[in-house]
Amino acid sequence: MPRSSRATARRKSSCDNASDLMVYEKYESSDFEKLIEVGKQSYTVLKEVGSHIKPGVRLVDIAKEVEAQLKEKNLTCSFPVNISANDNAAHYTPSFNDPRVFSDGDVVKLDIGGRSADYLSVLVITVDLSGEHGKLVEASEKALENAISIVKAGRKVSEIGKEINSTYAKYGINPIKNLGGHGIAKGELHAEPFIPNFDNDDDTELEEGDFIAIETFATEGEGYVIEGDYVQIFSMVREGQLRDAEHRKIMDFISKNYSTYPFAMRWLTEEFGSEFKVKSALNEMASKGMIDAYPVLVERSKGIVAQTEKSMIVERDSCTVTTE
């Protein structure tokens, strides 16, 4: 699940003081073995389910299959499965009764994450059902490969972005400039630093022991995403007072099961049986600033988008990829 270059830190609680801004807790070396285990299991799920993306298959069935296979491995989703096609770059997750099926012209990004407690993984592959955008997919994959090859402690994030964009240039492809990779911390998918897909002059250096995700977004369009109207993913910012007893039950369920991790409206509908009731609760929570929404992100010029992502631990002279 991508991070926007405009993303900001989330607060720990309902407090409004600046001092209560999220302080990210980095993983320790004792955590690395578990991160690698979660990453490898998630990779197995991604490859297996990715092979089932075919014309005529329902998107919601692929999402449910990811969830079921993660559960078999004693994992939950670190965020709702993103299944974004064509000019949709990210944040499309199926609704409860989503009728959409894959077509033979789709370029599909399957973006998943596994979670065991606060041990996380994030990873993406692109499946080209059209057979017409192989260069775009290859550019995204090669850019990630080249970026990983230069990751080490002391490396500036802008240098990673420069390497990614340099790869794209060889293919005549553009980066998406307002999406990119990110740090990952305990309990927080989107921590610092932001890792761009081009040289953005950011001198922030990676540190040994950082856990990061590099996301290479390649497009045939102009290279910027905007928010669309479709919204099915949310996360809780804080709890609060709700008027309706049913709304309070839904809020309590979110807090207990997802904490501040992103969740899908579909999951709540499956639990409470009424999409209307769930929407009503989320609308009240949104009006009180209790949840954040993640609208689908669309390439501004309607350009096709490919994406590849892996998670990795930064080392002194290289890195260890956890999701392979």
155 pLDDT higher than 60 = yes
In 76-148 the beta strands, taken as DSSP E runs, fall at 76-77, 82-85, 88-90, 107-112, 114-116, 119-120, 123-128
Query: Is residue 55 very low, low, confident or very high in pLDDT (cuts 50, 70, 90)?
Result: very high
Strand-pairing partners, residue 226, are: 298
Choice between 48 and 2, residue whose per-residue pLDDT is larger: 48
The Cα–Cα gap between 214 and 194 comes to 9
274 pLDDT higher than 80 = yes
* Percent of the chain's residues with pLDDT above 90: 92
Average pLDDT for 238-253: 95
Which of 21-30, 157-166, 198-207, 227-236 has the least mean pLDDT?
A: 21-30
15 pLDDT higher than 50 = no
Identity of residue 36: I
Average pLDDT for 49-75: 98
288 pLDDT higher than 90 = yes
189 touches 157 (CB < 8 A):
no
Q: Which two tokens stand for residue 86?
A: 């064509």
* Percent of the chain's residues with pLDDT above 70: 94
Mean of all residue pLDDT scores within the chain = 93
266 pLDDT higher than 90 = yes
The Cα–Cα gap between 132 and 53 comes to 16
pLDDT of 11: 30
272 pLDDT higher than 50 = yes
Average pLDDT for 173-192: 95
Computed on alpha carbons and rounded to an integer, the radius of gyration of the chain in Å comes to 19
